[in-house]
Every structure is written in structure tokens, then in C-alpha cells.
Amino acid sequence: MEVLIFDVDGTLADTERNGHRVAFNQAFKDAGLDWDWSPTLYGDLLKVTGGKERIKFYLDEYNTAFAKPDKLDDFIAQLHASKTVYFTTMLKEGKLPLRPGVERLINEARAAGIRLAIATTTTLANITALLEHAFAEEAQSWFECVAAGDIVPAKKPAPDIYHYVLEKMNVSARQCLALEDSYNGNLSSIGAGIPTVITYNGYTQDDDFTGAALVVDQLGDPDQAFKIRRGEGYGASCVDLSLLQKISFAAQ
């Protein structure tokens, strides 16, 4: 394993329920809309990746009575831009901490000279704010490739965002390992042929992770062991470099 590719939402931090969803609702309120995405409804809306695409899905499937404006894409883009401001503010205020083990694993990988990348559906500004606040101003530069949002034509579950990373870093799928959290994310990374480790969360714990090499409840830490749902943990109690190397070797 030469490259470690991180998903963002649900993997680096548990951002959906108390982050993105709350920011969407604030943006709707500001726009004078009576839309309110409850945690349960939002769980359904997460079937669709991409914030703009999710608003459209909501209008098409859940709020069909809403009179769509002529310039619907502009309307959605404005709502989404406002949402992104709220979301990045929450990140800067430290309201969305990293998941257990993320900081340790990233520091381990950097110390070992593993090349790092990000492959996410979320907007680039969200990654910058998360990394700057959770790590350091220059943290984004630790990642050789940051592939985000609309940079590819098709979002997860399509493999496009992972293909983009492989091409930019000039590596093969077998030289990489991906860390993901969701059904759509898993389909995207394994669709690109990349061995994948899943750390599920509250919204994705019942997802189908067929094809993933290892499925655990978190990366964990030496003093906070993970729980293995499926896959070989080689006796490890948390996801560290030596475990990832063994998984990568086994996938060759």
C-alpha cells in the first residue's frame, strides 16, 4: 500500500446528522422556506450523494407540492451556497470533531511516508475548513490529491472520483487503500478496484458493504478498540498502518 485515500463525510468526521442537515435547515429558514429536514427524513435523503442533488431529490420525491421556480438550478445553487457558509462556520467553531482514530492514523501515515489523498462528494470549502480546524492551516497540503464535489461528472456511487485520484497520482488501484463509511462510498471505491475499509456510523450502520475488505464501527485507538462486523482484523484492536498493509497485501 502506497496511497491511503480518505472519504470525508461520515469517515473523517460524523458530519451529516448534526452538521450538513442543520446547515441545510438554516439555509432553508434564511430563504423563507418552511422546509425542515428531520434526522429521519435526512437519513432517507442520504440515498443521494451531493448537497445540490439532495435538494433536487427532496423536491422530486418528498415535496412535490412545492412550486419549482423557472431557474431551478440557480435556486438550488443559491440555497446550497448559503448552506455551505453555515456548515463551514460550524466546522470553524469546532462543532464537528474528527472520528476516533482519524488523527492518529493520518499522523502515522505521514510519518511512514504514505501518500495521502481525499475522494469525497462534498464541496471543497468544507474540506479546507475541516482540515484547517481539526489539524492545522497547512493540513490540506498533506494530501497530494484532494478530489471533491463537482470535479467529476458522476458522484458516488459512481467510481469517477476514485478514478480521478488514481489518474492524478499515477498509481494503480492495488497500490491504494480507501477508507469509506457508506453504501454509495463503498460502491464507488470498489468500483474503481480499490481495497476498502468501512467505518460505519449512525446513518450507515445498516448499509450493504458487500466487497469491502473490512467493516468496523470505527478506526478506534489503542485504548478504544473497534468492533469488527466483517473481515479479517489480524488480531488488531484498531485500524493502524500495519493492519492496512496486511489488508492491502491480502487484496493483491
Q: Which residues bind Mg ion (CB under 5 A)?
A: 7, 9-10, 181-182, 185
* Binding letters toward ligand XBP, positions 50-89, x by CB under 6 A: xx--------------------------------------
The CA radius of gyration of the chain, in Å to the nearest whole number, is 18
Residue 9 or 160 with smaller CB distance to Mg ion: 9
DSSP 98: B
Please tell me whether residue 25 binds ligand XBP under the rule CB under 6 A: no
Give the three-class secondary structure for 173.
helix
User: Which residue among 4, 5, 20, 201 contacts ligand XBP (CB under 6 A)?
Assistant: 20
Query: In a 10 Å sphere around its CB, with 0-12 CB exposed, 13-18 middle and 19+ buried, how is residue 16 labelled?
Result: buried
Residue 20 or 163 with smaller CB distance to ligand XBP: 20
Please tell me whether residue 8 binds ligand XBP under the rule CB under 6 A: yes
Residue 135 or 245 with smaller CB distance to ligand XBP: 135
Residue 18 or 242 with smaller CB distance to ligand XBP: 18
Strand pairing report for 3-6 and 176-180: parallel
Please tell me whether residue 157 binds ligand XBP under the rule CB under 6 A: no
Q: How far is CA 228 from CA 104, 109, 146, 200, 232, in A?
A: 19, 22, 29, 11, 8
The verdict on whether 30 is a catalytic residue reads no
Angle CA 78–81–96, to nearest 5:
150
For the bound state, the minimum distance from the C-beta of residue 23 to ligand XBP, rounded and expressed in Å, comes to 8
For the bound state, the minimum distance from the C-beta of residue 35 to Mg ion, rounded and expressed in Å, comes to 23
- What distance, in Å, lies between the first and last C-alpha atoms of the chain? 10
Please tell me whether residue 123 binds ligand XBP under the rule CB under 6 A: yes
Supply the angle between the helices 72-92 and 51-61 in degrees, to the nearest 10: 130
The verdict on whether 7 is a catalytic residue reads yes
Strands of the 143-147 sheet, one edge to the other: 143-147, 115-119, 3-6, 176-180, 196-199, 214-216, 228-231
Active site residue ranges: 7, 9
> What does the binding site for ligand XBP look like in residue numbers (CB under 6 A)?
7-10, 16, 20, 49-51, 120-123, 126, 156, 182, 185
